[in-house]
A and B are shown apart, each in its own frame.
Chain A
Amino acid sequence: MDLFLDRVVIGLEQGAIYGSVALALVLIYRSTGFVNFAQGEMALFSTFLTWQFWEWGVPIAAAIAASMGVSFLAGAVIERVLIRPVGDVEHNALALVIVTVGMLLALNALVGWIWGTEGRRFPKIFGAGTVDIGSVSISYQALGTFAVLAVLLGLLYLLFQRTKLGLAVRAVASNAESSSLAGIRVGRILMFGWGLAAAVGALAGALYASELSLLDSNIFFQLLIYAFAAATLGGFDSPVGAVVGGLVVGLVTVLAGGYVGFLGEDLKLVAAFAVILVVLLVRPQGLFGRKQVSRV
């Protein structure tokens, strides 16, 4: 029983991280209809940046904030310079996939070139202790991760529902043409969306590395697959869905890895794949997504 509860806690903790990467995917998908295949490697780069700041003696919280700022700017520039010239997703989906896949390869190699391919020790953001609740002990790390995700979700809710900027983002996501006729500078909104996604990715990456106490250029690709599963399950256009999807995927993969002997630790990813496939077949819009009306 204790083992089960421990696994639930671990699953939720990992799920929170998957959910935050999924959140980054959703932020871009909502405004452009595009799935960013480079999201994981962008987060990898940001996390190495965080590590670098920390290594230079900056407190870890400040290092994360600085990295999020840089990532925001970089994300906005990437949209303007690399993504927008390729065209929109309706007509140039294949070219966009190739561009983001190119970014995936390039960023991963760039990280290896700058910081080397051996793993780095990453600090525990919230300290190393645990809290005992009944028979279950929950690490500060897990509690901190949940708290950060809750705050992040709350801030995003305020941004989207309570500010002019958030209203503009939602308007562009729904109807870019009418939005630009209303005076919204659509290009800037798209840059903002990519920037925001990159910043959220930076935060998610730091949580991930902190949970593992390790930063390594090979681990973020799998993170992307889990985030895909989370976003697919929640619905690619729903931030709340991304987080709920992340928690479920975290639980499912950890429990499947723990109890389905056939899968084991190695094949946890297969469980995530199964989640993606089943959701797309049974309920393509996900749990919280709007039903897509196919345009002809």
Chain B
Amino acid sequence: MTLDVTPVEPRGFLRDPKRLAVRVVITLAVGALLLALPHIYPRFRVEGQFNVIITYAIAALGLNLLTGYNGQISVGHGAFFGVGAYTTAILVGDHGWPHFATLAVAAALTFVLGVLVGLPALRIQGLYLALVTLALAAAFPLVVTRFSSVTGGTQGMRVSRFRAPDWTGLKDYQWKYYVLLAVAVVAFVLVRNLVKSRVGRAIIATRDNETAAQVLGVDLSRYKVLTFGISATLAGVAGALSVFNEPFVNAEKYNINLSITLLVAVVVGGAATIFGPAWGAFFVVMIPTWLPNRYPQLSPVLFGGSLIVLMILAPGGFLGLVRQASGWVRRRSGRRSSAGPSPGEGHDALASA
């Protein structure tokens, strides 16, 4: 499965109709594949893997905005994910709300929480923020347990299932997949546009050099807090959607491991790239299933070990590797044809081909 990873400048491929055509074909092919997946694969794969990948991808997309583009390291986004999940679970389970309506509440609530965490984060730099958010993530399951009369605590609570409407003719798991995918596509388009906008440039400038950004007249605090809010919102929506997929919540589902998993997805996919979080979510869900399951206890050892190796060999994550490889191949082919510097933007032609 090949996603288009190319952040090509529009001028680049408009000048080059052949590449435009390639892009269109690839986008259509990937789209068709994504649409076909729930009809190709059985329910346990769609529910147990694909839908989980999508929710993680949305949350990682939000975390990437904060950590990758804005440079604020959070090891606590699992808590926002959890808040979103409990919002949907409580509203649907205890108050009989329709699923879709809860999305708006989860989004609003996590946005406010994100801003509330983002405000003190203004004064907390670098690793200290990682430390605070880690502590936040560690505290979340304890808080859930403390209020078990509402949350169900460690026992958890069941929620009514998210059913496919009759007019669709789809099975429940297929319907869930399409709903999740649709939200994910909207989220990715929004974030992509945000990153390319003036606001996005300000967010990135803040990461690269706070002082310089300040000199340029970027209102740092507003953008940092805003980024935190949006980032938390995406994690919260992802959490809410995870309850669409699996109608059960308990305290342990949203522990520190979830926060770590989300951060790992961002970094493994490629921090500060648009599609990195999607790839990262794919890897964090799928890698454990590929590992030999003869010693299941060992799989976190292998997972942690491969993270370390990846950071040493390819700190740019998966997309960083793809980029390196394509650059290498291009230089080689360029030398062979001795055509001088490669034409046009040339950015990642191979990654998308």
Direct A–B contact present (CB less than 8 angstroms) = yes
Taking beta carbons and an 8 Å cutoff, which residues of A are in contact with B?
A: 34-35, 37, 82, 85-87, 89, 92-99, 101-110, 112-113, 221-222, 225, 228-229, 232, 264, 266-267, 269-270, 272-273, 276-277, 280-281, 284, 294, 296
State how many angstroms separate the Cβ of B129 from the closest Cβ of chain A.
9
Most B CB contacts (10 A, CB to CB) among A34, A113, A284 go to: A113
Which A residues lie within 8 Å of B256 (CB)? 221
Q: If A101-B307, A106-B305, A221-B256 touch, does A228 touch B131 (CB 8 Å cutoff)?
A: yes
State how many angstroms separate the Cβ of A138 from the closest Cβ of chain B.
29
Q: Is B312 an interface residue (CB 8 A)?
A: yes
Question: What is the CA–CA distance of A89 and B126 in the complex, to the nearest angstrom?
Answer: 10
Contact partner, B304, options A89, A102, A113, A269, Cβ 8 Å: A102
Q: Is B88 an interface residue (CB 8 A)?
A: no
Q: Is B128 an interface residue (CB 8 A)?
A: yes
Question: What is the CA–CA distance of A276 and B135 in the complex, to the nearest angstrom?
Answer: 9
Contact partner, B127, options A86, A89, A266, Cβ 8 Å: A89
Interchain residue pairs with CB less than 8 A apart (9)? A94-B271, A98-B307, A108-B300, A109-B300, A228-B135, A276-B135, A277-B120, A280-B132, A284-B123
By secondary structure, the A interface counts as helix
Question: What is the CA–CA distance of A272 and B260 in the complex, to the nearest angstrom?
Answer: 20
Which B residues lie within 8 Å of A229 (CB)? 135
B306-321 contact mask (Cβ, 8 Å, vs A): 1 or 0: 1110011001000000
Check B308–A103 contact: CB distance below 8 A.
yes
Question: What is the CA–CA distance of A87 and B123 in the complex, to the nearest angstrom?
Answer: 25
Check A280–B120 contact: CB distance below 8 A.
yes
Q: If A86-B311, A272-B135 touch, does A97 touch B127 (CB 8 Å cutoff)?
A: yes
Check B146–A276 contact: CB distance below 8 A.
no
Q: If A87-B315, A109-B297 touch, does A35 touch B130 (CB 8 Å cutoff)?
A: yes
Check A99–B308 contact: CB distance below 8 A.
yes
By secondary structure, the B interface counts as helix
Q: Which residue of B lies closest to A268 (CB)?
A: B142
State how many angstroms separate the Cβ of B201 from the closest Cβ of chain A.
20
Check A109–B260 contact: CB distance below 8 A.
no
Which A residues lie within 8 Å of B134 (CB)? 37, 225, 228
Q: If A86-B312, A104-B304 touch, does A97 touch B297 (CB 8 Å cutoff)?
A: no
Which B residues lie within 8 Å of A34 (CB)? 127
Q: Is B264 an interface residue (CB 8 A)?
A: yes
Check A105–B260 contact: CB distance below 8 A.
yes
Question: What is the CA–CA distance of A288 and B60 in the complex, to the nearest angstrom?
Answer: 37
Q: Which residue of A lies closest to B267 (CB)?
A: A98
State how many angstroms separate the Cβ of A255 from the closest Cβ of chain B.
18
Kindly identify, within residues 275 to 326 of chain B, every residue whose CB is under 8 Å from any CB belonging to chain A.
295, 297-301, 303-308, 311-312, 315
Which A residues lie within 8 Å of B211 (CB)? 296
Most A CB contacts (10 A, CB to CB) among B67, B142, B264, B308 go to: B308
Q: Is B143 an interface residue (CB 8 A)?
A: yes
Contact partner, B301, options A97, A109, A280, Cβ 8 Å: A109
Which B residues lie within 8 Å of A276 (CB)? 131-132, 135
Contact partner, B305, options A101, A102, A277, A281, Cβ 8 Å: A102
Q: Which residue of B lies closest to A92 (CB)?
A: B315
Q: If A103-B308, A109-B301 touch, does A280 touch B146 (CB 8 Å cutoff)?
A: no
Q: Is B204 an interface residue (CB 8 A)?
A: no
Question: What is the CA–CA distance of A82 and B311 in the complex, to the nearest angstrom?
Answer: 9
Check B124–A98 contact: CB distance below 8 A.
no
Check B75–A280 contact: CB distance below 8 A.
no
Question: What is the CA–CA distance of A221 and B304 in the complex, to the nearest angstrom?
Answer: 16
Which A residues lie within 8 Å of B6 (CB)? none
State how many angstroms separate the Cβ of B219 from the closest Cβ of chain A.
19
Q: Which residue of B lies closest to A85 (CB)?
A: B312
Which A residues lie within 8 Å of B305 (CB)? 102, 106
Q: Is B138 an interface residue (CB 8 A)?
A: yes
Check B312–A102 contact: CB distance below 8 A.
no
Question: What is the CA–CA distance of A96 and B75 in the complex, to the nearest angstrom?
Answer: 13
Check B138–A94 contact: CB distance below 8 A.
no
B142-153 contact mask (Cβ, 8 Å, vs A): 1 or 0: 110110000000
Check A270–B301 contact: CB distance below 8 A.
no
State how many angstroms separate the Cβ of B132 from the closest Cβ of chain A.
6
Contact partner, A269, options B124, B126, B128, B139, Cβ 8 Å: B139
Check A113–B301 contact: CB distance below 8 A.
yes
Q: Is B263 an interface residue (CB 8 A)?
A: yes
Given A35-B131, A97-B127, list of 16 further CB < 8 A pairs?
A98-B263, A98-B267, A99-B307, A101-B75, A101-B304, A104-B260, A104-B304, A109-B297, A109-B299, A221-B256, A267-B146, A269-B138, A269-B142, A273-B139, A280-B120, A280-B123
State how many angstroms separate the Cβ of A281 from the closest Cβ of chain B.
5
Question: What is the CA–CA distance of A266 and B135 in the complex, to the nearest angstrom?
Answer: 15
Question: What is the CA–CA distance of A65 and B271 in the complex, to the nearest angstrom?
Answer: 42
Which B residues lie within 8 Å of A94 (CB)? 67, 73, 267, 271
Contact partner, A98, options B128, B264, B298, B299, Cβ 8 Å: B264
Q: Is B136 an interface residue (CB 8 A)?
A: yes
Most B CB contacts (10 A, CB to CB) among A269, A272, A280 go to: A280
Most A CB contacts (10 A, CB to CB) among B123, B257, B298, B300 go to: B300
Check A284–B135 contact: CB distance below 8 A.
no
Which B residues lie within 8 Å of A222 (CB)? 138
Q: If A277-B120, A280-B132 touch, does A109 touch B315 (CB 8 Å cutoff)?
A: no
Which A residues lie within 8 Å of B337 (CB)? none
Q: If A37-B134, A86-B315 touch, does A294 touch B127 (CB 8 Å cutoff)?
A: no
